[in-house]
Chains A and B, each alone.
Chain A
Amino acid sequence: MSDIPSDLKYVASHEWIRDEGDGVVTIGVTDHAQDLLGDVVFVELPDVGADFAVGDDIGVVESVKAASDIYAPLSGEIVAVNEELDDSPELVNSDPYGDGWFIKLRLSDESETTDLLDADGYAELCEAES
């Protein structure tokens, strides 16, 4: 069974969202997602300052096995990207909820967060997909 921290929110495309306060969230992919991807070898992230709406492509994760798009789980402006992933993409596998984070987003519409899944909801979704 994969690790699903209870203090995070989730979306069905296997991203997690951490509320950092002041309308900023950190986003990454879940333990379940990194397990499905296998060894991550490249992560392509957007530029700081770029604006995205929910569901937009914001980047690509390339694993040995396949390429997967990353979708914006919420709308907003990119305020930081994890540059460590350029040299150490394996952090996505080894620490998906910590050093393997992807981006920080300043939300443009905080009401969207009500649509996010909690840990139980996401666990159920993973179960249903298995």
Chain B
Amino acid sequence: MKELQIMGQKTALHEKHQQMNGKLVDFGGWEMPINYGSQVDEHHKVRTDAGMFDVSHMTVVDVTGADAKEYLRYLLANDVARLQQQGKALYSGMLNETGGVVDDLIVYLMTEPDVAGEWFRVVVNCATREKDLRWMADHTAKFDDVALTERPELSIVAIQGPNALAKAESVLTESRVKLIESLKPFQGVESEGWFFARTGYTGEDGLEVMVPEEYVADFWQALSDAGVTPCGLGARDTLRLEAGMNLYGSDMDEKISPLAANMGWTIAWEPAERNFVGRKALEEQRHAGAQQKMIGLVLETRGVLRSHQKVIINGEEAGEITSGTFSPTLGCSIAMARVSADVAGTCHVDIRGKLIEVKVVKPSFVRNGEKVFS
């Protein structure tokens, strides 16, 4: 099997993954665990108890300097001025001039808002790291005082599931537990070089913890001893798809507008005078009316929807699946698909040459362990 021969970059948890029988595969140039035995079992653990993921391959960039806020208000389609509380997080697209998505990211306000020394932390995808860093650096040119600092020495562990907070807290000091208990959803807090954020990519409550890499192996082991199940990136994908969360490169890319990727809610149109990269193109698109939209598909009979399968509505080809999988929580297949905005009616998918009828729903399937469509 190929995974034994790959020579990718390794996270600080690489040895732990091997010890815990992680099946390592190439993931954007990194050797990452796809599962530790059964992806489906890991998926269920996150929906019913607590699982943990090594996501240290993701790229952390700190944005500092007197112009940090104005820079990010220009760089991102969502508006960091909306962050009005220390630690609050915002999901945003970083767009190009034609309104395509360069990457999607999370930005945290690391200080109180509007204070001297106000700064932000941005987390971007690993597969797009070099492109993103170049893009971000290029766009500092029109600002006097912005510094970008990559933080490769921070490992990231995502602990997710209904029991994630309690089990994570059981291995942390009392002062850190207090900090975590003070967090609202989508908020983070720093603690002596660690960063605890109540965010995730699974549709469950939980934490994403940034840990200086020298501590991460012990932290991972302690979590495992406390009953948190190690989960691979396979389960992460089925979990995020059930939650209706986009995957960059599959559900959107540089040629796709956020309006065609179910990301309209991440565009801050107001205040109208805020100029951001891609704004002009998006306004033109909005004026012309959306050409394409994202829908959710559910296959209630046997079979599995996969990316690139053709979607047929009222007998005409209307688009294709961008992400499809078997949903372990629902016991049937689900998918996100991009189709022409103006079509409605009976929907079929071409699965290996057969036209199979599917149900159309909003592209969100499971939240907090429960089915969200009817």
Say what secondary structure dominates the interface of chain B.
mixed
Q: Complex formed: what's the CA distance from A64 to B40 in Å? A: 8
- A38 at interface by CB-CB < 8 Å: yes
Contact A93 to B302, CB < 8 A, known contacts A41-B326, A130-B2 = no
The listed residue (B39, B304, B306, B352) touching A38 by CB distance below 8 A is B39
- A39 at interface by CB-CB < 8 Å: yes
The listed residue (A36, A66, A93) touching B38 by CB distance below 8 A is A93
Residue of A35, A39, A44, A66 most packed against chain B (CB within 10 A): A39
| Interface size range on B against A | 10 to 19
- A51 at interface by CB-CB < 8 Å: no
Contact A65 to B234, CB < 8 A, known contacts A38-B39, A39-B38, A130-B2 = yes
Q: Complex formed: what's the CA distance from A93 to B39 in Å? A: 12
Name the A residues within 8 Å of B306 (CB-CB).
Answer: 66-67
Name the B residues within 8 Å of A65 (CB-CB).
Answer: 39, 234
Q: Complex formed: what's the CA distance from A66 to B2 in Å? A: 17
How many residues belonging to A are interface residues under a CB distance threshold of 8 Å? Answer: 16
Name the B residues within 8 Å of A41 (CB-CB).
Answer: 40, 304, 326
Question: In chain B, residues 12-63, which have Cβ atoms closer than 8 Å to a Cβ of chain A?
Answer: 34-35, 38-40
Contact A38 to B35, CB < 8 A, known contacts A64-B40, A64-B325, A130-B1 = yes
The residues of B with any CB-CB pair to A shorter than 8 Å are 1-2, 4, 34-35, 38-40, 234, 238, 302-304, 306, 325-326, 328, 352
The residues of A with any CB-CB pair to B shorter than 8 Å are 35-36, 38-39, 41-42, 44, 60, 62, 64-67, 90, 93, 130
Q: Can you list 7 A-B pairs, Cβ within 8 angstroms, ordered by A? A: A41-B304, A42-B302, A42-B304, A62-B326, A65-B39, A65-B234, A67-B306
